[in-house]
Copies of this chain bind each other. A is one copy, B any other.
């Protein structure tokens, strides 16, 4: 297969998780790629009823993608499962990107020979009406995005997707990733030079991961506003603090001029550099 091969990538999003916010941009962060073509269809905030997922997958398939990335919270639910069936039938390599509750679907995903990347710290938001308005929702996502980026979680996703893409561009059959990102996996990808920066990132990852325990109790178990409101507020404080810890970790690396950067070449392979003033290679 020649250097002129261009890969058509289809992204399906139903509902949102932090890891999918900028998914297309993890593959082409400066819109310079000459070898991938991305189309994305989403159903906005909704993943219920399953038709939300089915209809959008149907439309996505019309784009005739060669590789499908599917993202949603809790990929074990009926909607995403139905969409996976469709991708399976279409016989298109598919990678599921989801959060910790999706672990329940791992066996089924494996049976379908699909890939998956599940991110432990991509915790559920505090979705109760007296608490969550568009602004609180955006603040939480901002904090979550910071945690995902600096802890190394998004680096894992970027690297794993790029391996698959490079394989396909080279005409190889891709080995789809089957990964659960925990703190250890994340910080390995983040490649901190300073061990205390790494420690802060691990701490932040753990803190962010434990947010779901609090939000799920507040959203699904507690019924009285006076009971769940303190937990919701606490959960978002936890994510905010995790973001600040990650920021500190990166500031340490900046203070040592050891921030690793791995930009995509226009031909899609990843380059790397460390000192700010050095050239990527």
Contacts and interface: CB of A to CB of B under 8 A. Distances in A.
Contact of A43 (B38, B150, B256): B38
A contact residues, range: 35 or more
A11 to B, nearest CB: 7
Contact of A16 (B25, B149, B198, B234): B25
Interface stretch (A101-109, A163-171, A257-265): A257-265
A180 interface: no
B45 A263 contact: no
Contacts of A223: none
Contacts of A47: 31
Given A203-B241, A233-B195, A263-B130, A24 B42 contact: yes
Interface of A: 9, 11, 13, 15-16, 21-22, 24-33, 37-48, 55-56, 59, 62-63, 127-139, 141-143, 145-146, 148-150, 154-155, 158, 183-184, 187, 194-200, 202-203, 206-207, 210, 214, 225-226, 229-231, 233-238, 240-241, 243, 245, 247, 250, 252, 254-257, 259, 261-265, 271, 273, 275-280
Given A40-B43, A41-B42, A141-B145, 6 more contacts: A22-B141, A39-B43, A59-B62, A134-B262, A138-B154, A202-B234
